[in-house]
Amino acid sequence: MLSETIGNNAGLIWSALQNGQLNVKAVKKITKLNEKDLNMAFGWLARESKIEFNEAEGEIFVGLV
């Protein structure tokens, strides 16, 4: 059950990033995921090489690969 939830949350993130790279705070706000669920979904997508992280001006940005 947890894997299904993480996968669904990963889908929310994927949809949020369709229009381009966002900072992590914006992804959290758009998806309305709590910190734990957001990070698990980020891990899922990163493990599948679907997203990449960049840091600029002290903020972490995430985008689709």
| CB atoms closer than 10 angstroms to residue 11 | 14
Domain that holds residue 19: 2-64
pLDDT tens for each residue of the chain, 65 residues long? 799 999 999 999 999 999 999 999 999 999 999 999 999 999 999 999 999 999 999 999 999 99
- The enclosing domain of 34 has a CATH number of 1.10.10.10
Q: Which residue has the tokens 């939830």?
A: 5
How many domains are contained in the chain? 1
Cα–Cα distance, 22 to 26 (Å, whole number)? 6
How close are the terminal C-alpha atoms of the chain, in Å?
Answer: 27
